A = this chain, B = another copy of it.
Amino acid sequence: MSIKTKEQFDSFTKEFMASDAYRESIGFGICRVDRGQLDPQRVLQASFGLVNWRENHKSAAVLLSALKESGVALDPKASELVVDLDIGFINAALNAFAPFIDEAAGPKHQNVQVLLALAAIAEENGLDAGEYRAVFLFEDVAPQSVEAVYLKLHALSQGKAPLRSLDLSGAFGLLSNVAWVGNQPIELEWLRENEIELKLRGEYPAIDAVDKFPRYLQHVIPADNTRILDGSKVRMGAHLAPGTTVMPGASYINFNAGTTGPVMVEGRISSSAIVGSGSDVGGGASILGVLSGTNGNPVSIGKNTLLGANSVTGIPLGDGCIVDAGVAILEGTKVGVDAKSAEAIAAINPGFETAGSSPLVLKGVAFAGLHGVHFRQDSTTGQIVATRSKREVKLNEELH
């Protein structure tokens, strides 16, 4: 079928989307894959020029239709589809996209741009078998392929899916542990097999890292006002909201962790931890992750909260809190609160229970998620105490 007008495109996609062959995807994209030097069946990395996430369903329809037309069997029950692309697919898809080709530039019709780029590559060099793949995720279940893992990490890093919202079960098992030389992944076994030759010829590569995950900056372009002073500090799958700065001292942001607004990061945001707008993770401060010291509870830090240098936080904190430099607040830390402070904290945290003897001694977990709390160690007695912080707390509507 020849598609020449946008009306024809609409009819075409509407018809296909009503057919049994179509299923709505949660995410899709076309990627270039890096394969193992020794084992080409092993996909080491998937690079997406464009990631679609709960959007552009007509483009998804075009790609699925083109796959079908080029002979791919579309399994109606699979949670994901990962399939090699050939020139037949490209031509079929571009045929459907014909009315948009002239407009495809800059932010417009980027899925068409992807196909045009592929067509140009194919014309220049031919397509290497298995170098390009289409990836569709139909359900948010445990990913079944390296490509699916990368697509989900992209959705998180680009902020298209909220942190902690996706099923990444088994991702570590799918990804290969490789040597990263710039953006290129190399099998460790290949290095071993070629070590003697490479070393003696002076051709041994300069390896930046050995990891299953690539770095954020290998795949994601941050916002204009976001800074990452050392690319090794942010793993792919982290999300940095615009205006976030990651300093190179002791900082680190793991995958599925990050910021939801401008944050100064000089400490560690462990896996699943999230930090809110205007907060400051001081030099060497640690926000514990679900795998270490939080009883499996992911830690969220609110807005305008200050984690002092070398402090450690193992409980969620609300807005406008302060953890003093060097202070550790874990679920089990005993924290003293005098009557006046308890009252002031309760004034902005209606659920906070101040009944009982005064001064109170509460466990750290009793402060989970509270706003405007200042945790410090009394340097005359060594006691960890909580008072009402002097940082601004903007009360949310839902709070009262």
A359-370 near B? 1/0 per residue, CB < 8 Å: 001000000000
- Is A333 a contact of B379 with CB atoms below 8 Å? yes
**Residue among A47, A266, A268, A361 having the largest count of chain B Cβ atoms under 10 Å:** A268
Stretch among A1-9, A59-67, A111-119 lining the B interface: A111-119
Stretch among A20-28, A140-148, A286-294, A392-400 lining the B interface: A286-294
Q: What is the CB-to-nearest-CB distance from A229 to chain B, in angstroms, rounded to a whole number?
A: 5
Copies in the complex: 3
Give chain A interface residues in 171-219, CB to chain B under 8 Å.
177, 179, 182-183, 188-189, 191-193, 195-202, 204-212, 217-218
The reply on A49 being an interface residue by CB < 8 A is yes
The reply on A284 being an interface residue by CB < 8 A is yes
Q: A49-B196, A196-B50 are in contact. Are A328 and B312 (CB under 8 A)?
A: no
Q: A312-B326, A327-B326 are in contact. Are A117 and B197 (CB under 8 A)?
A: yes
- Is A383 a contact of B384 with CB atoms below 8 Å? no
The reply on A279 being an interface residue by CB < 8 A is no
The reply on A342 being an interface residue by CB < 8 A is no
In the complex, which residue of chain B has the Cβ closest to the Cβ of A254? B247
- Is A334 a contact of B380 with CB atoms below 8 Å? yes
Please name all residues of chain B whose beta carbon is closer than 8 Å to the beta carbon of A312 when the two chains form the complex. Answer: 308-310, 325-326
Further pairs besides A48-B199, A310-B312, A335-B379: 16, Cβ < 8 Å: A47-B199, A47-B202, A106-B193, A179-B217, A191-B221, A206-B218, A209-B229, A210-B231, A233-B248, A233-B249, A248-B252, A250-B283, A250-B284, A266-B268, A284-B286, A334-B379
